[in-house]
């Protein structure tokens, strides 16, 4: 009789135990694999100490999702059926991200004797100590370079002014080339370098000049610093001053910086 009593209990154990095992076998999450790294952290005493922190390993799908999170693709159909394509992606190591990028498509001036075409500008700004400078540069660096290049293209003597002493001497003997200014990569490189130097001088020198011009002699005696929070250059962005004949800028995608 005792043997017969165990049979229902054994059957119940098999019926209940097997589904339970299957459920936990396929629904329980496996332990996440980790690796250790040494980092500096502030302790209770306020001092920086080296501590070991366990970092969980991401799965392949998680890594792919992180890479694609801020990915963007742009495609622009231009004259003659030409299609310009660009893809960008960013992965921040801190928040907010300190780096920035920008790109811009500028159509060649319609009055230019050269065949129609486009200027494509791409820039990546490596930020340090915060995102502020890289964000400003993402707005003004490409327009500054474009305007410097445009001013040199419109100046017939631009090639001669960029040339060295030997090149200037040769220009007196040989007829200068009729090729467009921007057809020579060396000319474009010089225009980019000049634009970089001018913008760098503006960013570095402008605050000092503004501060010097805003100091009141009486406040200076009292060692008081003027309040420049409402000054135009005290805002979060800098706008490049542009004048004269400019190339036409097109923004084929809403995400393009200008």
Name the token pair of 16.
């209940």
CA distance 89 to 64: 12
Q: Is residue 52 part of a domain?
A: no
- Residue 109 domain-assigned? yes
Half-sphere exposure (CA, 13 Å, Cβ side) for 91?
6
Q: What is the pLDDT of residues 69-116, one digit of tens each?
A: 999 999 999 888 889 999 999 998 888 999 999 999 988 766 666 667
User: What mean pLDDT value characterizes the chain?
Assistant: 76
* Rounded Cα gap, residues 258 and 248, in angstroms: 12
Residue 181 has pLDDT above 90, yes or no: no
Tokens of 1: 């009789």
- 248 C-beta neighbours (distance < 10 Å), count: 9
Q: Give CA–CA dist 46/92, Å, rounded.
A: 28
The tally of domains found in the chain comes to: 1
Structural domain that includes position 153: 62-250
In whole angstroms, what is the distance from residue 78 CA to residue 83 CA? 6
> Residue 146 domain-assigned?
yes
Asked, for residue 36, whether it belongs to a domain, the answer is no
Which of 32-36, 100-104, 111-115, 186-190 is predicted least confidently? Answer: 111-115
Please indicate, yes or no, if residue 15 is contained in any of the structural domains.
no
| pTM confidence score | 0.63
pLDDT category at 164 given cuts 50, 70, 90 is low
């Amino acid at each position: 009789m005792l043997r017969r009593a165990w049979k229902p209990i054994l059957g119940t154990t098999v019926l209940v135990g097997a589904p339970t095992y299957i459920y936990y076998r396929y629904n329980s999450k496996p332990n996440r694999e980790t690796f250790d790294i040494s980092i500096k952290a502030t302790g209770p005493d306020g001092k920086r100490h080296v501590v070991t922190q366990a970092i969980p390993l991401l799965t392949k799908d998680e890594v792919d999702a992180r890479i694609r999170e801020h990915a963007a693709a742009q495609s622009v159909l231009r004259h003659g059926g030409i299609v310009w394509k660009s893809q960008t992606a960013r992965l921040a190591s801190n928040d907010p991200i300190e780096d920035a990028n920008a790109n811009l498509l500028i159509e060649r001036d319609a009055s230019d004797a050269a065949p129609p075409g486009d200027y494509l500008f791409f820039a990546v700004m490596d930020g340090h100590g915060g995102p502020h400078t890289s964000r400003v540069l993402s707005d003004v660096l490409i327009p500054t370079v474009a305007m410097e290049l445009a001013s040199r293209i419109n100046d017939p003597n631009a090639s001669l002014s960029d040339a060295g002493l030997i090149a200037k001497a040769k220009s007196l003997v040989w007829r200068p080339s009729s090729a467009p200014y921007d057809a020579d990569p060396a000319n474009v490189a010089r225009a980019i370098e000049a634009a970089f130097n001018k913008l760098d001088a503006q960013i570095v020198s402008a605050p000092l000049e503004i501060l010097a011009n805003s100091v009141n002699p009486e406040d200076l005696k009292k060692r008081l610093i003027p309040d420049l929070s409402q000054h135009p250059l005290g805002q979060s962005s800098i706008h490049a001053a542009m004048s004269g004949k400019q190339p036409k800028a097109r923004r084929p995608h809403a995400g393009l910086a200008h």
